Structure 1
Protein backbone atom coordinates (compact mmCIF):
# COMPACT_ATOMS: atom_id res chain seq x y z
CA UNK A 1 0.00 0.00 0.00
CA UNK A 2 1.47 3.36 -1.04
CA UNK A 3 1.35 6.45 1.10
CA UNK A 4 -1.01 8.01 -1.46
CA UNK A 5 -3.64 5.46 -0.36
CA UNK A 6 -3.54 6.79 3.17
CA UNK A 7 -6.08 9.43 3.99
CA UNK A 8 -4.57 12.89 3.78
CA UNK A 9 -5.03 13.62 7.47
CA UNK A 10 -3.47 10.29 8.44
CA UNK A 11 -0.51 10.86 6.13
CA UNK A 12 0.06 14.35 7.54
CA UNK A 13 -0.22 13.06 11.10
CA UNK A 14 2.38 10.36 10.47
CA UNK A 15 4.77 12.78 8.78
CA UNK A 16 4.49 15.28 11.62
CA UNK A 17 5.12 12.55 14.19
CA UNK A 18 8.02 11.12 12.19
CA UNK A 19 9.65 14.54 11.98
CA UNK A 20 9.29 14.78 15.76
CA UNK A 21 11.42 11.63 15.99
CA UNK A 22 8.57 9.15 16.42
CA UNK A 23 10.22 5.93 15.23
CA UNK A 24 6.93 4.07 14.97
CA UNK A 25 5.39 6.71 12.67
CA UNK A 26 8.47 6.69 10.47
CA UNK A 27 8.39 2.90 10.32
CA UNK A 28 4.76 2.98 9.17
CA UNK A 29 5.54 5.50 6.43
CA UNK A 30 8.47 3.42 5.21
CA UNK A 31 6.30 0.31 5.15
CA UNK A 32 3.50 2.08 3.26
CA UNK A 33 5.98 3.26 0.64
CA UNK A 34 7.79 -0.04 0.05
CA UNK A 35 6.01 -0.59 -3.26
CA UNK A 36 7.08 2.86 -4.42
CA UNK A 37 10.72 2.09 -3.64
CA UNK A 38 10.53 -1.32 -5.32
CA UNK A 39 8.98 0.18 -8.47
CA UNK A 40 12.12 2.30 -8.80
CA UNK A 41 14.53 -0.47 -7.83
CA UNK A 42 13.12 -2.68 -10.59
CA UNK A 43 14.40 -0.22 -13.19
CA UNK A 44 17.95 -0.96 -12.08
CA UNK A 45 17.70 -4.73 -11.63
CA UNK A 46 20.08 -5.48 -14.51
CA UNK A 47 22.89 -3.27 -13.25
CA UNK A 48 24.75 -6.10 -11.53
CA UNK A 49 23.58 -5.55 -7.96
CA UNK A 50 21.22 -7.44 -5.72
CA UNK A 51 17.79 -5.86 -5.73
CA UNK A 52 17.76 -5.91 -1.94
CA UNK A 53 20.91 -3.77 -1.84
CA UNK A 54 19.34 -1.22 -4.16
CA UNK A 55 16.17 -1.31 -2.09
CA UNK A 56 18.17 -0.41 1.00
CA UNK A 57 19.70 2.57 -0.81
CA UNK A 58 16.29 3.65 -2.07
CA UNK A 59 14.94 3.40 1.45
CA UNK A 60 17.60 5.84 2.62
CA UNK A 61 16.27 8.32 0.08
CA UNK A 62 12.73 7.66 1.28
CA UNK A 63 13.70 8.34 4.89
CA UNK A 64 15.38 11.59 3.84
CA UNK A 65 12.16 12.57 2.09
CA UNK A 66 10.13 11.85 5.23
CA UNK A 67 12.49 13.97 7.31
CA UNK A 68 12.51 16.90 4.89
CA UNK A 69 8.96 16.98 3.50
CA UNK A 70 7.21 20.31 4.10
CA UNK A 71 3.46 19.88 4.56
CA UNK A 72 2.87 23.41 3.31
CA UNK A 73 3.79 22.26 -0.19
CA UNK A 74 0.74 21.56 -2.32
CA UNK A 75 2.19 18.36 -3.79
CA UNK A 76 1.85 14.67 -3.12
CA UNK A 77 4.40 13.16 -0.77
CA UNK A 78 5.40 10.71 -3.53
CA UNK A 79 6.10 13.62 -5.89
CA UNK A 80 8.61 14.86 -3.36
CA UNK A 81 10.00 11.44 -2.41
CA UNK A 82 10.79 9.79 -5.74
CA UNK A 83 13.62 12.14 -6.82
CA UNK A 84 15.32 11.53 -3.49
CA UNK A 85 14.87 7.76 -3.72
CA UNK A 86 16.32 7.62 -7.22
CA UNK A 87 19.06 10.06 -6.29
CA UNK A 88 20.33 7.73 -3.58
CA UNK A 89 20.30 4.72 -5.91
CA UNK A 90 22.06 6.60 -8.70
CA UNK A 91 24.72 7.95 -6.34
CA UNK A 92 25.35 4.41 -5.15
CA UNK A 93 25.69 3.12 -8.73
CA UNK A 94 27.78 6.06 -9.85
CA UNK A 95 30.17 5.77 -6.93
CA UNK A 96 30.70 2.11 -7.78
CA UNK A 97 31.20 2.90 -11.46
CA UNK A 98 28.58 0.50 -12.79
CA UNK A 99 26.52 2.95 -14.83
CA UNK A 100 27.23 2.17 -18.49
CA UNK A 101 25.71 3.46 -21.68
CA UNK A 102 24.64 0.87 -24.24
CA UNK A 103 24.87 1.45 -27.99
CA UNK A 104 21.08 1.29 -28.27
CA UNK A 105 20.63 4.04 -25.68
CA UNK A 106 23.19 6.21 -27.47
CA UNK A 107 21.36 5.75 -30.78
CA UNK A 108 18.02 6.65 -29.21
CA UNK A 109 19.52 9.73 -27.56
CA UNK A 110 20.96 10.94 -30.87
CA UNK A 111 17.65 10.36 -32.64
CA UNK A 112 15.78 12.28 -29.94
CA UNK A 113 18.27 15.13 -30.04
CA UNK A 114 17.92 15.59 -33.80
CA UNK A 115 14.13 15.40 -33.66
CA UNK A 116 13.99 17.94 -30.85
CA UNK A 117 16.23 20.31 -32.82
CA UNK A 118 14.05 19.98 -35.92
CA UNK A 119 10.89 20.76 -33.97
CA UNK A 120 12.46 23.72 -32.18
CA UNK A 121 13.63 25.20 -35.49
CA UNK A 122 10.25 24.78 -37.16
CA UNK A 123 7.98 25.78 -34.26
CA UNK A 124 10.19 27.76 -31.90
CA UNK A 125 9.01 25.57 -29.02
CA UNK A 126 10.64 22.77 -27.05
CA UNK A 127 8.66 19.54 -27.59
CA UNK A 128 7.63 17.48 -24.60
CA UNK A 129 8.91 13.96 -23.98
CA UNK A 130 5.45 12.65 -24.83
CA UNK A 131 5.43 14.44 -28.19
CA UNK A 132 8.87 13.10 -29.08
CA UNK A 133 7.85 9.58 -28.07
CA UNK A 134 4.83 9.65 -30.38
CA UNK A 135 6.78 11.07 -33.32
CA UNK A 136 9.68 8.63 -32.98
CA UNK A 137 7.55 5.59 -32.14
CA UNK A 138 9.29 5.19 -28.79
CA UNK A 139 8.06 5.02 -25.23
CA UNK A 140 8.61 7.90 -22.84
CA UNK A 141 10.61 5.47 -20.71
CA UNK A 142 13.04 4.76 -23.56
CA UNK A 143 13.62 8.46 -24.16
CA UNK A 144 14.14 9.30 -20.48
CA UNK A 145 16.51 6.37 -19.93
CA UNK A 146 18.53 7.20 -23.05
CA UNK A 147 18.89 10.88 -22.22
CA UNK A 148 19.81 10.15 -18.62
CA UNK A 149 22.39 7.60 -19.74
CA UNK A 150 24.23 9.79 -22.23
CA UNK A 151 24.00 12.80 -19.96
CA UNK A 152 25.86 11.26 -17.02
CA UNK A 153 29.44 11.01 -18.31
CA UNK A 154 29.84 14.68 -19.23
CA UNK A 155 27.38 16.24 -16.82
CA UNK A 156 29.58 15.72 -13.80
CA UNK A 157 31.76 18.54 -15.16
CA UNK A 158 28.95 20.81 -16.30
CA UNK A 159 28.64 24.13 -14.49
CA UNK A 160 25.03 25.24 -14.18
CA UNK A 161 25.74 28.28 -12.02
CA UNK A 162 28.73 30.34 -10.99
CA UNK A 163 28.99 33.03 -8.33
CA UNK A 164 32.09 34.63 -6.86
CA UNK A 165 34.21 32.10 -8.71
CA UNK A 166 32.37 29.14 -7.21
CA UNK A 167 30.85 26.83 -9.79
CA UNK A 168 27.98 24.46 -9.08
CA UNK A 169 28.53 21.22 -10.98
CA UNK A 170 25.32 19.43 -11.88
CA UNK A 171 26.06 15.70 -11.56
CA UNK A 172 22.76 14.55 -12.97
CA UNK A 173 21.30 17.78 -14.34
CA UNK A 174 18.32 17.17 -12.09
CA UNK A 175 17.52 14.34 -14.43
CA UNK A 176 16.15 11.75 -12.26
CA UNK A 177 12.62 11.48 -11.34
CA UNK A 178 9.07 11.63 -10.04
CA UNK A 179 6.01 10.74 -8.02
CA UNK A 180 4.99 7.37 -9.34
CA UNK A 181 6.09 5.08 -12.14
CA UNK A 182 4.43 7.15 -14.87
CA UNK A 183 5.44 10.54 -13.49
CA UNK A 184 8.98 9.29 -12.90
CA UNK A 185 9.33 8.98 -16.67
CA UNK A 186 8.29 12.59 -17.23
CA UNK A 187 10.14 14.47 -14.51
CA UNK A 188 13.29 15.16 -16.53
CA UNK A 189 11.24 16.95 -19.13
CA UNK A 190 9.42 18.88 -16.41
CA UNK A 191 12.57 19.91 -14.53
CA UNK A 192 14.09 21.20 -17.73
CA UNK A 193 11.18 23.62 -18.05
CA UNK A 194 12.12 25.40 -14.84
CA UNK A 195 13.96 28.70 -14.96
CA UNK A 196 17.72 28.55 -14.35
CA UNK A 197 17.62 29.72 -10.73
CA UNK A 198 14.73 27.43 -9.81
CA UNK A 199 16.55 24.46 -11.33
CA UNK A 200 19.66 25.30 -9.30
CA UNK A 201 17.61 25.52 -6.11
CA UNK A 202 16.01 22.12 -6.77
CA UNK A 203 19.42 20.61 -7.50
CA UNK A 204 20.99 21.92 -4.30
CA UNK A 205 17.99 21.01 -2.15
CA UNK A 206 17.28 17.50 -3.43
CA UNK A 207 20.55 16.26 -4.91
CA UNK A 208 23.04 17.95 -2.59
CA UNK A 209 20.84 17.87 0.54
CA UNK A 210 21.45 21.56 1.25
CA UNK A 211 19.26 23.41 3.71
CA UNK A 212 17.31 26.44 2.52
CA UNK A 213 19.71 28.68 4.41
CA UNK A 214 22.73 27.06 2.73
CA UNK A 215 21.11 27.54 -0.67
CA UNK A 216 20.33 31.17 0.18
CA UNK A 217 23.94 31.86 1.14
CA UNK A 218 25.22 30.16 -2.00
CA UNK A 219 22.94 32.14 -4.33
CA UNK A 220 23.08 35.41 -2.45
CA UNK A 221 19.36 35.61 -1.72
CA UNK A 222 17.27 35.31 1.43
CA UNK A 223 16.02 32.07 2.97
CA UNK A 224 12.48 33.37 2.48
CA UNK A 225 13.13 33.75 -1.25
CA UNK A 226 14.51 30.22 -1.45
CA UNK A 227 11.45 28.87 0.35
CA UNK A 228 9.11 30.76 -1.98
CA UNK A 229 10.96 29.68 -5.15
CA UNK A 230 11.16 26.07 -3.99
CA UNK A 231 7.44 25.97 -3.27
CA UNK A 232 6.73 27.59 -6.64
CA UNK A 233 8.96 25.05 -8.43
CA UNK A 234 7.29 22.09 -6.77
CA UNK A 235 3.89 23.43 -7.78
CA UNK A 236 5.09 23.91 -11.37
CA UNK A 237 6.40 20.35 -11.44
CA UNK A 238 3.07 19.11 -10.18
CA UNK A 239 1.29 21.05 -12.92
CA UNK A 240 3.65 19.86 -15.66
CA UNK A 241 3.34 16.25 -14.57
CA UNK A 242 -0.45 16.39 -14.35
CA UNK A 243 -0.57 17.74 -17.91
CA UNK A 244 1.58 14.93 -19.25
CA UNK A 245 -0.07 12.00 -17.48
Structure 2
Protein backbone atom coordinates (compact mmCIF):
# COMPACT_ATOMS: atom_id res chain seq x y z
CA UNK A 1 0.00 0.00 0.00
CA UNK A 2 1.18 3.54 -0.75
CA UNK A 3 0.80 5.87 2.25
CA UNK A 4 1.62 9.59 2.37
CA UNK A 5 2.63 11.11 5.71
CA UNK A 6 2.24 14.87 6.18
CA UNK A 7 4.72 15.90 8.86
CA UNK A 8 6.87 12.87 8.07
CA UNK A 9 10.06 14.10 9.79
CA UNK A 10 8.58 15.10 13.15
CA UNK A 11 8.40 13.17 16.41
CA UNK A 12 5.24 11.29 15.46
CA UNK A 13 5.64 11.36 11.69
CA UNK A 14 9.05 9.71 11.71
CA UNK A 15 7.64 6.82 13.74
CA UNK A 16 4.60 6.53 11.46
CA UNK A 17 7.01 6.24 8.52
CA UNK A 18 9.01 3.56 10.34
CA UNK A 19 5.92 1.52 11.32
CA UNK A 20 4.47 1.72 7.80
CA UNK A 21 7.74 0.69 6.15
CA UNK A 22 8.23 -2.16 8.62
CA UNK A 23 4.81 -3.47 7.57
CA UNK A 24 5.89 -3.43 3.93
CA UNK A 25 4.13 -0.26 2.79
CA UNK A 26 5.53 2.38 0.45
CA UNK A 27 5.73 5.83 2.07
CA UNK A 28 5.63 9.30 0.54
CA UNK A 29 7.01 11.95 2.91
CA UNK A 30 5.38 15.38 2.97
CA UNK A 31 7.54 17.80 4.95
CA UNK A 32 9.88 20.70 4.32
CA UNK A 33 12.80 18.29 4.54
CA UNK A 34 11.15 16.39 1.68
CA UNK A 35 10.94 19.60 -0.37
CA UNK A 36 7.23 20.15 0.36
CA UNK A 37 5.60 23.34 1.66
CA UNK A 38 2.20 22.25 2.94
CA UNK A 39 1.00 25.85 3.26
CA UNK A 40 0.97 25.99 -0.55
CA UNK A 41 -1.18 23.72 -2.75
CA UNK A 42 1.36 23.78 -5.57
CA UNK A 43 2.49 20.29 -6.57
CA UNK A 44 0.68 18.42 -3.80
CA UNK A 45 -1.63 16.49 -6.12
CA UNK A 46 1.42 15.25 -8.07
CA UNK A 47 3.05 14.12 -4.82
CA UNK A 48 -0.09 12.19 -3.92
CA UNK A 49 -0.38 10.40 -7.26
CA UNK A 50 -0.91 6.69 -6.60
CA UNK A 51 -1.32 7.22 -2.84
CA UNK A 52 -4.15 5.25 -1.22
CA UNK A 53 -4.08 6.79 2.27
CA UNK A 54 -2.92 10.12 3.68
CA UNK A 55 -1.87 10.53 7.33
CA UNK A 56 -1.73 14.09 8.69
CA UNK A 57 0.46 14.53 11.78
CA UNK A 58 1.53 18.10 11.01
CA UNK A 59 2.48 20.40 13.87
CA UNK A 60 1.84 24.14 13.84
CA UNK A 61 4.93 26.35 14.33
CA UNK A 62 3.01 28.20 17.08
CA UNK A 63 0.64 27.16 19.88
CA UNK A 64 -1.33 30.42 19.99
CA UNK A 65 -4.42 31.43 18.02
CA UNK A 66 -2.27 31.88 14.88
CA UNK A 67 -2.22 28.09 14.69
CA UNK A 68 -5.82 28.23 13.42
CA UNK A 69 -4.72 29.72 10.10
CA UNK A 70 -1.89 27.20 9.73
CA UNK A 71 -4.04 24.15 10.39
CA UNK A 72 -6.93 25.34 8.23
CA UNK A 73 -4.61 26.14 5.31
CA UNK A 74 -2.70 22.87 5.48
CA UNK A 75 -5.82 20.73 5.97
CA UNK A 76 -7.56 22.35 3.00
CA UNK A 77 -4.48 21.98 0.78
CA UNK A 78 -4.00 18.35 1.74
CA UNK A 79 -7.68 17.50 1.44
CA UNK A 80 -8.13 19.13 -1.97
CA UNK A 81 -4.96 17.52 -3.32
CA UNK A 82 -5.95 14.12 -1.94
CA UNK A 83 -9.36 14.37 -3.58
CA UNK A 84 -7.80 15.42 -6.88
CA UNK A 85 -5.29 12.56 -6.74
CA UNK A 86 -7.92 9.92 -5.96
CA UNK A 87 -6.74 9.17 -2.40
CA UNK A 88 -9.49 7.14 -0.72
CA UNK A 89 -8.62 7.51 2.97
CA UNK A 90 -7.39 10.31 5.24
CA UNK A 91 -6.19 9.88 8.84
CA UNK A 92 -5.73 12.85 11.18
CA UNK A 93 -3.97 12.92 14.53
CA UNK A 94 -5.82 15.08 17.06
CA UNK A 95 -6.07 15.33 20.85
CA UNK A 96 -8.41 13.80 23.43
CA UNK A 97 -10.78 16.46 24.77
CA UNK A 98 -9.95 18.91 22.00
CA UNK A 99 -13.61 19.94 21.68
CA UNK A 100 -14.07 20.35 25.45
CA UNK A 101 -11.62 23.22 26.09
CA UNK A 102 -12.71 26.29 24.08
CA UNK A 103 -10.61 28.56 26.34
CA UNK A 104 -7.29 27.13 25.03
CA UNK A 105 -6.02 28.58 21.74
CA UNK A 106 -4.18 25.50 20.51
CA UNK A 107 -7.23 23.30 21.05
CA UNK A 108 -9.37 25.83 19.17
CA UNK A 109 -6.88 25.46 16.31
CA UNK A 110 -7.02 21.66 16.39
CA UNK A 111 -10.83 21.75 16.27
CA UNK A 112 -10.52 24.01 13.22
CA UNK A 113 -8.14 21.47 11.68
CA UNK A 114 -10.62 18.62 12.22
CA UNK A 115 -13.47 20.71 10.81
CA UNK A 116 -11.49 21.67 7.70
CA UNK A 117 -10.47 18.08 7.01
CA UNK A 118 -14.11 17.01 7.25
CA UNK A 119 -15.00 19.52 4.52
CA UNK A 120 -12.08 18.82 2.18
CA UNK A 121 -10.62 15.37 2.79
CA UNK A 122 -11.75 11.99 1.42
CA UNK A 123 -12.62 9.18 3.85
CA UNK A 124 -11.59 10.96 7.06
CA UNK A 125 -10.73 9.01 10.24
CA UNK A 126 -9.57 10.86 13.36
CA UNK A 127 -7.31 9.52 16.11
CA UNK A 128 -7.60 11.61 19.25
CA UNK A 129 -4.62 10.72 21.41
CA UNK A 130 -3.58 11.69 24.93
CA UNK A 131 -0.42 13.71 25.51
CA UNK A 132 2.79 11.91 24.56
CA UNK A 133 5.02 10.36 27.22
CA UNK A 134 7.63 12.76 25.80
CA UNK A 135 5.37 15.74 26.53
CA UNK A 136 6.68 16.58 30.05
CA UNK A 137 10.20 16.93 28.64
CA UNK A 138 8.92 19.19 25.88
CA UNK A 139 7.01 21.27 28.43
CA UNK A 140 10.15 21.65 30.55
CA UNK A 141 12.02 23.10 27.56
CA UNK A 142 9.15 25.41 26.57
CA UNK A 143 8.81 26.89 30.08
CA UNK A 144 12.45 27.09 31.10
CA UNK A 145 13.94 30.28 32.51
CA UNK A 146 17.32 29.72 34.08
CA UNK A 147 17.08 27.18 36.91
CA UNK A 148 13.27 27.15 36.92
CA UNK A 149 10.63 25.98 34.47
CA UNK A 150 6.87 26.43 34.37
CA UNK A 151 4.74 23.46 33.28
CA UNK A 152 0.98 23.29 32.69
CA UNK A 153 -0.94 21.47 35.43
CA UNK A 154 -2.84 19.13 33.09
CA UNK A 155 -4.52 15.88 34.08
CA UNK A 156 -3.85 13.37 31.31
CA UNK A 157 -3.32 9.69 30.60
CA UNK A 158 -0.12 9.94 28.53
CA UNK A 159 0.71 7.43 25.83
CA UNK A 160 3.81 6.32 23.95
CA UNK A 161 4.41 7.87 20.53
CA UNK A 162 5.07 4.40 19.16
CA UNK A 163 1.53 3.34 20.09
CA UNK A 164 0.14 6.44 18.35
CA UNK A 165 2.09 5.59 15.21
CA UNK A 166 0.85 1.99 15.29
CA UNK A 167 -2.82 2.97 15.49
CA UNK A 168 -2.43 5.67 12.83
CA UNK A 169 -1.09 3.06 10.41
CA UNK A 170 -3.90 0.66 11.33
CA UNK A 171 -6.40 3.39 10.47
CA UNK A 172 -4.58 4.18 7.23
CA UNK A 173 -4.65 0.57 6.07
CA UNK A 174 -8.26 -0.04 7.13
CA UNK A 175 -7.34 -2.54 9.85
CA UNK A 176 -9.28 -0.15 12.08
CA UNK A 177 -12.27 1.67 10.63
CA UNK A 178 -13.47 4.01 13.40
CA UNK A 179 -14.53 7.50 12.36
CA UNK A 180 -13.17 8.91 15.62
CA UNK A 181 -11.20 6.88 18.14
CA UNK A 182 -9.32 7.74 21.33
CA UNK A 183 -5.95 6.36 22.44
CA UNK A 184 -4.38 6.77 25.88
CA UNK A 185 -1.89 5.22 28.23
CA UNK A 186 -2.78 3.05 31.22
CA UNK A 187 -2.49 5.58 34.05
CA UNK A 188 -3.86 9.02 34.92
CA UNK A 189 -1.07 11.50 35.68
CA UNK A 190 -0.58 15.21 36.27
CA UNK A 191 1.86 16.51 33.67
CA UNK A 192 3.59 18.80 36.15
CA UNK A 193 4.26 15.80 38.44
CA UNK A 194 5.74 13.88 35.51
CA UNK A 195 7.99 16.84 34.74
CA UNK A 196 9.29 16.76 38.32
CA UNK A 197 9.96 13.02 38.10
CA UNK A 198 11.77 13.56 34.81
CA UNK A 199 13.96 16.27 36.36
CA UNK A 200 14.75 14.00 39.33
CA UNK A 201 15.67 11.20 36.94
CA UNK A 202 18.03 13.51 35.06
CA UNK A 203 19.75 14.68 38.26
CA UNK A 204 19.49 18.29 37.12
CA UNK A 205 18.92 21.08 39.64
CA UNK A 206 15.77 22.55 38.18
CA UNK A 207 12.64 23.77 39.96
CA UNK A 208 9.34 22.91 38.27
CA UNK A 209 6.51 25.39 38.88
CA UNK A 210 2.90 24.48 38.10
CA UNK A 211 1.09 26.80 35.69
CA UNK A 212 -2.66 27.15 36.03
CA UNK A 213 -4.74 26.02 33.05
CA UNK A 214 -8.46 26.14 32.21
CA UNK A 215 -10.46 24.12 34.76
CA UNK A 216 -11.55 21.39 32.29
CA UNK A 217 -7.90 20.61 31.44
CA UNK A 218 -7.00 20.43 35.11
CA UNK A 219 -9.88 18.18 36.14
CA UNK A 220 -10.44 15.51 33.52
CA UNK A 221 -11.45 16.91 30.11
CA UNK A 222 -8.31 15.40 28.60
CA UNK A 223 -8.99 11.89 29.89
CA UNK A 224 -10.19 9.12 27.53
CA UNK A 225 -13.76 7.86 27.37
CA UNK A 226 -14.95 4.32 27.97
CA UNK A 227 -14.40 3.20 24.38
CA UNK A 228 -10.77 4.30 24.13
CA UNK A 229 -7.83 2.11 23.22
CA UNK A 230 -5.54 1.81 26.26
CA UNK A 231 -1.92 0.93 25.54
CA UNK A 232 1.26 0.86 27.63
CA UNK A 233 3.83 1.54 28.83
CA UNK A 234 3.26 3.71 31.90
CA UNK A 235 5.34 6.85 32.32
CA UNK A 236 7.51 5.19 34.98
CA UNK A 237 8.18 2.21 32.71
CA UNK A 238 9.07 4.58 29.88
CA UNK A 239 11.24 6.73 32.18
CA UNK A 240 13.22 3.72 33.38
CA UNK A 241 14.44 3.26 29.81
CA UNK A 242 15.54 6.89 29.38
CA UNK A 243 19.20 7.85 29.93
CA UNK A 244 19.88 9.91 33.05
Q: TM exceeds 0.5? A: no
TM-score (norm 2): 0.25
Relative to total residues, which structure has the larger strand share, 1 or 2?
2
Higher relative contact order (CA 8 A, sep 6+): 2
TM-score (norm 1): 0.25
